[in-house]
Amino acid sequence: MYDKINTIHDVLRERYVYGAELVGRYGFPRLPVCNPNLAGSVAVPFNLARKEKNPRKAVCHFFIDDYQFECYWNNPEKYRGILENFRYICTPDFSLYDDMPLALKIWQTYRSRALAWMMHDTHLPIIPTVSWGAPDTWEYCFDGLPTGGTLAVSTYGCFRGDGRMCFVAGYQEMIRRLHPDKMVVVGYPMQEIDAGSVPVVYLESYLQQSGIRRGR
């Protein structure tokens, strides 16, 4: 279990992984299995969480541009009073881009996993989120995620160009490695997901709820 704070004022935010079992080549926190009851739930993005009038029937998610939740990395305690009212929270999902340096892609994955552990450790009702990039990210992007249970992904932005092929390949690899019992998908349905053996619960994104058809 990790129990160190190495920097003055904890500028590296090691407190986020305090008490975690660190796994994999890069030492990501291991997250617990989650089996949520999602019946009747709606999806609400983090940037609109403060305005949600019925959070007990909502799942908050971070499938939005990173700048809209960098504030949560910097000061998660500030938002606890908002998030604790939600039925569930899909854990943060910092972006991975193919042209990023490897170190930055690993750091983004670590940040996602570190905040997820901190949320679990402070008793927020989480659903672990999975994200990946090109096949070279598979070496580390699934580390720390639970085997079995329910995991969350988003199809937003995965329908154009090579994005669909990359998403489907990573999704299939994730299923092979993690063996989830159920998937939560925020965004538009995708035939390749529906054709798989794992049950899927779709939650409409804010763009779908608003009738805006961008990013497909």
Q: What does the pLDDT look like over 119-130, one tens digit per residue?
A: 999 999 999 999
* pLDDT over threshold 60, residue 213: no
Q: Does 28 fall in a domain?
A: yes
pLDDT attached to residue 147: 97
Q: Which of 17, 21, 15 is nearest to 1 (CA)?
A: 21
Q: For the chain, how many structural domains are there in total?
A: 1
In angstroms, the CA 15 to CA 4 distance is: 8
Q: Which two tokens stand for residue 175?
A: 């299923």
Q: Does 146 fall in a domain?
A: yes
In angstroms, the CA 196 to CA 191 distance is: 9
Burial of 168 (0-12, 13-18, 19+ CB in 10 A): middle
pLDDT digits (tens, 9 = 90+) for 10-61: 889 999 999 999 999 999 999 999 999 998 899 999 999 999 999 999 999 9
Confidence of residue 211 (pLDDT cuts 50, 70, 90): low
Looking at per-residue confidence, does 165 or 106 come out higher? 106
Range of the domain at 185: 8-210
Q: Does 150 fall in a domain?
A: yes
Average pLDDT over residues 70-75: 97
* pLDDT over threshold 70, residue 214: no
What are the residue ranges of helices labelled H in the chain? 70-74, 80-83, 102-121, 163-178, 191-194, 206-210
Q: Does 3 fall in a domain?
A: no
pLDDT attached to residue 104: 97
Q: Does 125 fall in a domain?
A: yes
Q: What is the pTM of this model?
A: 0.92
* pLDDT over threshold 90, residue 199: yes
Q: Does 18 fall in a domain?
A: yes
Q: Which two tokens stand for residue 148?
A: 């079995």
Q: Does 216 fall in a domain?
A: no
Q: Does 2 fall in a domain?
A: no
Long-range contacts, 130-133 (Cβ 8 Å, 24+): 130/174, 130/178, 131/93, 131/94, 131/95, 131/96, 132/96, 132/170, 132/173, 132/174, 133/96, 133/97, 133/98, 133/105, 133/166, 133/170
* pLDDT over threshold 60, residue 180: yes
Q: Which two tokens stand for residue 130?
A: 């999975």
